[in-house]
Structure 1
Amino acid sequence: MADFMKKATGNWQDGLMLLLGIWLFFSPWILGFAGIQSAFWNALFFGVILAGMSIAVVTEFHDWEEWVDMALGVWLVVSPWVLGFAALSAVNAAAYAATMTFVATGVVALALAAWSLRHHHAAHAA
């Protein structure tokens, strides 16, 4: 456990990605969009995957894990439109909260994964 915490704080991007996955998982209840089924299940499913992938990266780094995190980030950004709840954002505060949560979380996840990948390659190149 101490080794995991050392790796998680040493590679802060991966530790923050874990927190991002946990946030995404609990966001339907915190922000009140649990009643929008597509947003609810999207948050639960991808919150677990994002958190799980970040734990995998912290325990043993592989490039493909960061690429998966970047793909998850892209999905999170486009998912409100693909799943259709972004169209409700103008008239429904919960749909607006869900849309903004997915877009913001996706952008941050994409940036953190890219940053982590670059950081790991720069550290091994030196």
Structure 2
Amino acid sequence: MAMHLATRRWQDQLMVLIGVWLFVSPWIFAYPPSSPIAWNAALAGAIIGILAAFDLVKTHVWAVLFNIVVGAWAVVSPWLVGTLDDPAMTWSLVIAGSATIVLGLWELRTDPELHRQWRSGAAG
């Protein structure tokens, strides 16, 4: 059962890694910690990583949906926080956000526990 649970939740494992990447990316790309660009990437990464880690323990529809929303924010944020002049940070946000959206949608589509929650109308 534990192995089945771990393989079923591989999307969350990848989202934890994506969250960690986004969280540390401002330092890797040498942004000042107080800059809006650094805050944007670190906050998006923290939310994605924490919710995905939480989902590894007990999956909730609301957590997956919120991660999809944060992933969408990460995709559009380069145009809103001014990273377009930095291709590395722009692509980092777009790729990480897109991957989060795809993984979240994949999880919503394939996880039987999420299907039960969705049908019952209970988001948790």
TM-score (norm 2): 0.80
1:107 equivalent in structure 2: 98
Q: How many residues align?
A: 114
CA RMSD, aligned part only? Answer: 2.4
Q: 1:66 to 1:124 in 2, by over 3 A?
A: closer
- CA separation in 2, counterparts of 1:67 and 1:123? 11
- CA separation in 2, counterparts of 1:6 and 1:23? 26
1:34 aligns with 2:31: yes
Q: Which amino acid aligns with 1:34?
A: Y
Q: Give unmatched runs, 5+ long, in structure 2.
A: 117-124
- CA separation in 1, counterparts of 2:10 and 2:71? 18
1:71 equivalent in structure 2: 69
Q: 1:8 to 1:25 in 2, by over 3 A?
A: farther
Q: Give unmatched runs, 5+ long, in structure 1.
A: 90-94
Q: Which amino acid aligns with 2:98?
A: V
Q: 1:33 to 1:97 in 2, by over 3 A?
A: farther
TM-score (norm 1): 0.79
1:97 equivalent in structure 2: 88
1:117 aligns with 2:115: no
SS for the counterpart of 1:61 is coil
